[in-house]
Chain A
Amino acid sequence: MSDHQAEIETRRTPGRLARAWDSDLAYSFRHAPVAMVSAAVVLILVLSALLAPWIAPYDPFDPGSLNLMNGFTPPGQPNAFTQETFVLGTDDQGRDVFSTILFGMRISLFVGFSAVLLAMVIGVVLGLLAGYLGGWVESVIMRVADIQLTFPAILVAMLIFGIAKGITPPAYRDQMAIWVLILAIGLSDWVQFARVVRGATLVEKSRDYVQAARLVGRRPFSIMIRHILPNVLNPVLVIATISLALAIIAEATLSFLGVGAPPTKPSLGTLIRIGQGFMFSGEWWILLFPALTLLALALSINLLGDWLRDALNPRLR
């Protein structure tokens, strides 16, 4: 009996992985080629960024290792002075473009993830509070959100960046630049999260299970965290994914404008800014490769976000 029964048992309670594979989400994923390709691209890019110190042939952030004479080497061709060859060429300082893209992507992704995390935490907390508590709390939070929405996010980020740069002592500016970027982008992006969470909270608040929890005597804080939060997470996930793409682009924009990552530690945006100066003179590779990488990264994350939105929305299924 035991063997047979065991077999039935395993069939009845499949493993976690198998359960995930059988879930609606995975089913929809398996039937969305765009999502699969996007996920693959994101995975490759994220992995290569994470493994940059091992994959990249050079360390572009170590100024001592640069040889200026390698500057402007075209991709795949030997440099006229040093005879060294670089897969994607070099920039104006003799930095290997391929290595710089890998390392730059680390900055872009790190800033993107951290900024979205920051925006998400602020937005979700404020949204929950506004939606559940209502009254003047809601008014204050949502009016602040409305006011911030009237400014373009990039402008708010620049403002925050400018103030933060002003109050940091110059000696620490380089090290602080990345954190300031995260703060600037994170603070400029929480509004979306707050609005969506508030809306979802308002709906959930009137549901029976929340009423029941209230009757049992649960405190508001615990109701928000244990009952409402898990049920409003779906839209938050979708926004987070799309925000990630936007945050990466925001970082690139700020760096492109010269207010983001320092030129000695270039992110994708900084690289594009550098490359843009050599557009007319025929050194296209400094601009093109970082721009393509940024495009691939932002586009695939966006497509993933789109798919996630559709997949999580029961009405679209």
Chain B
Amino acid sequence: MTKHMLLAATALTLTLGAAQAETLRWARSGDALTLDPHAQNEGPTLALMHQMMEPLVLRNPAGELEAALATDWSVSPDNPDVWTFTLREGVKFHDGADFTAEDVVFSINRALTENSDMKGIISSVASVEATGDHEVQITTKGPNPLLPAALPNILMIDKDWAEANDTVDVQDVEGGEETFASQNVNGTGPYQLVSREADVKTEMTVFDGYWGADGFAMGYSDIVYTPIQNPSTRMAALFSGEVDFIQDVPVQDLQRIESDPNLKIVSSPQNRVIFFGLNVGDTLVNGEGENPLADPAVREAMNMAINRDAIQQVVMRGQSIPAGVIMPPFVNGWNEELNTVPEGGVEAAKAKLEEAGWGDGFTVQLDCPNDRYINDEAICQAAVGMMAQIGVTVNLNAQPKAQHFPLVNGLESDFYMLGWGVPSYDSEYIFNFLYHTKEDLYGTWNGTRYSNPELDEMIKAIAAEVDLDKRDAMIAEMWEMAKSDTVYLPIHHQVLNWAMKSGVGAAVDADDQVKVKYFTAE
């Protein structure tokens, strides 16, 4: 009796306190790789940074472009290469400094430097200029009607802060560098950093001077972000009430969450495709002799050997859509026909391999993350079995993404798993990062050594094509070329599930990008 009353009293206090201070305890499988906004173009990294830093133009949970630090933007009527962005006035950084045009010029130029992982997104930018305290002009290398759609992940930081703390240069992640900016944040975002211990915990609290304090739901005053790699530990944390909100929900536990009255799930098809990349260069990184993967027929055989239905039904329990192309269904350029998965199965794949002269099989190492995508390691294990069925011996090297991604970026893998989301919702983003020859601004996530000059030329051409019908026709042609070379083996499109306490009003986002400012708390 007394116990019940005590519980009721506690509950009452909690409800009363809700309006003032509410903490969102948020967990997902892996941590942000850095806090340097331009060092890693990676989902969870950006998701964490978006709470604290902002772009000029934001993509809201509905998938629409929304004014953030820029209130207005337009292309010059005289010159299609010149864009003018009007900046929001009265915006403060967390340290109290004013947000002005020079910070935008600094941030965009920073995002275009050598070490930046964002340069591929804005490769069309030729120069940025401050034309007033709160106005910038961006000049593109040719007409780029899609420039605003490229900006939602280009986050703004304070120029003076970066200079004062000697962190003007972007962190070199592959080189293992740590900088001031990789561990500290001074953005304009709704939350400011309180403390961070990489891979353990990141705490944020609401920023009092936030320009949008009244314009958004802002249901939470504090955020505690905890990466929990083990799926069942993550679930246990939710079931026991230790956390309020989790991403990367293990597919096997969906049913149990749904049957729990205190918990709920929000889901949406996700803007993310999962695939394998293959080293198509002359030599293998791990192994000697001729590289069998350099032969398109071998790659095609491997593509046939992947039993996507089995992965969907058993490993993903239906929470995926088999993929035939490495483009999520939201993206401009998508059509069902492109997504046709290769037919043939094991026997045809074997015959194909035999025909290519690799009937005796070969050995290759598969590098796989184990804390990034839904059931990533289980999918890789399944692939080991499927490849073995056609005589290809696969050594599995599954490790955390912090060790895995540098292998992909550094051309140190022959066969790797990668997932790709397209925040710009346009095929160009995929071609820029994954198909273009790896060079300065382009192909930064192309770990395959694939280089097709004809395709490269078209990639540059679509960036400047203003006639959208013509552009779409070019994109269709490019997909045909890309698909026929089978550089990547598509697996599936992920279905996104977020699990949370029933009181959390989460605005689900196809990009899997949590933006807590849109969340309500009950």
Given A278-B252, A279-B232; A68-B311 close (CB under 8 Å): yes
CB < 8 Å neighbour of A171 from B235, B287, B315, B381: B287
User: Is A64 a contact partner of B388 (Cβ separation < 8 A)?
Assistant: yes
Q: List 5 A-B contacts (CB under 8 A).
A: A71-B315, A94-B314, A170-B365, A263-B396, A280-B239
User: Is A68 a contact partner of B252 (Cβ separation < 8 A)?
Assistant: no
* Additional pairs, 19, CB under 8 Å, beyond known A68-B386, A174-B395, A281-B253: A62-B388, A63-B384, A64-B389, A64-B391, A69-B314, A71-B314, A92-B315, A93-B378, A93-B382, A93-B385, A170-B365, A263-B381, A276-B230, A277-B230, A277-B252, A278-B232, A280-B232, A280-B235, A280-B239
User: Is A92 a contact partner of B385 (Cβ separation < 8 A)?
Assistant: no
Q: Does B255 contact A (CB under 8 A)?
A: yes
Q: Which 5 A-B pairs have the closest CB atoms?
A: A64-B388, A281-B252, A71-B314, A63-B388, A68-B310
Residues 272-298 of A contacting B (Cβ, < 8 Å): 276-281, 283
CB distance from A149 to the nearest CB of B (A): 29
A89 to B389, CA, bound (A): 22
Which residues of A lie under 8 Å from residue B286 when comparing CB positions? 169-171
Interface of A is mostly: loop
Which residues of B lie under 8 Å from residue A64 when comparing CB positions? 385, 388-389, 391
Name the residue of chain A whose CB is nearest to the CB of B380: A263
CB distance from A103 to the nearest CB of B (A): 15
Q: Does B3 contact A (CB under 8 A)?
A: no
Residues 200-251 of A contacting B (Cβ, < 8 Å): none
CB distance from B206 to the nearest CB of A (A): 33
A297 to B297, CA, bound (A): 49
CB distance from A87 to the nearest CB of B (A): 20
Chain B CB within 10 Å — which of A64, A264, A283 has the most? A64
Q: Does A81 contact B (CB under 8 A)?
A: yes
User: Is A69 a contact partner of B232 (Cβ separation < 8 A)?
Assistant: no
Q: Does A98 contact B (CB under 8 A)?
A: no
A173 to B287, CA, bound (A): 13
Chain B 385-403 near chain A by CB (<8 Å), digits 1 or 0: 1111101001111100000
Q: How many residues of B contact A (CB 8 A)?
A: 37
Which residues of A lie under 8 Å from residue B377 when comparing CB positions? 263
A56 to B239, CA, bound (A): 38
User: Is B378 a contact partner of A281 (Cβ separation < 8 A)?
Assistant: no
Chain A CB within 10 Å — which of B239, B314, B370 has the most? B314
CB < 8 Å neighbour of A68 from B307, B387, B394: B307
User: Is A69 a contact partner of B255 (Cβ separation < 8 A)?
Assistant: no
CB distance from A262 to the nearest CB of B (A): 7
Q: Does A66 contact B (CB under 8 A)?
A: yes
Enumerate chain A interface residues (CB-CB to B < 8 A). 62-69, 71-72, 81, 92-94, 169-171, 173-174, 258, 262-264, 276-281, 283
Name the residue of chain B whose CB is nearest to the CB of A69: B310
Chain B 99-141 near chain A by CB (<8 Å), digits 1 or 0: 0000000000000000000000000000000000000000000
CB < 8 Å neighbour of B397 from A72, A81, A173: A173
User: Is B381 a contact partner of A93 (Cβ separation < 8 A)?
Assistant: yes
A72 to B253, CA, bound (A): 14
Which residues of B lie under 8 Å from residue A67 when comparing CB positions? 310
Which residues of B lie under 8 Å from residue A281 when comparing CB positions? 250, 252-253, 255-256
Name the residue of chain B whose CB is nearest to the CB of A171: B286
CB distance from B382 to the nearest CB of A (A): 5
Q: Does B10 contact A (CB under 8 A)?
A: no
User: Is A171 a contact partner of B365 (Cβ separation < 8 A)?
Assistant: yes
Q: Does B369 contact A (CB under 8 A)?
A: no
Which residues of A lie under 8 Å from residue B328 when comparing CB positions? none
CB distance from B459 to the nearest CB of A (A): 32
Q: Does B76 contact A (CB under 8 A)?
A: no
User: Is A276 a contact partner of B384 (Cβ separation < 8 A)?
Assistant: no
User: Is A72 a contact partner of B395 (Cβ separation < 8 A)?
Assistant: no
Which residues of B lie under 8 Å from residue A262 when comparing CB positions? 396
Q: Does B313 contact A (CB under 8 A)?
A: yes
Q: Does B189 contact A (CB under 8 A)?
A: no
A14 to B358, CA, bound (A): 66
Name the residue of chain A whose CB is nearest to the CB of B233: A276
Q: Does B277 contact A (CB under 8 A)?
A: no
User: Is B231 a contact partner of A277 (Cβ separation < 8 A)?
Assistant: yes
A263 to B239, CA, bound (A): 28
Name the residue of chain B whose CB is nearest to the CB of A263: B381
CB distance from B265 to the nearest CB of A (A): 14
A169 to B255, CA, bound (A): 42
A92 to B389, CA, bound (A): 18
User: Is A68 a contact partner of B315 (Cβ separation < 8 A)?
Assistant: yes
Which residues of B lie under 8 Å from residue A65 when comparing CB positions? 388
Which residues of B lie under 8 Å from residue A277 when comparing CB positions? 230-232, 250, 252
Given A69-B314, A92-B378; A280-B385 close (CB under 8 Å): no
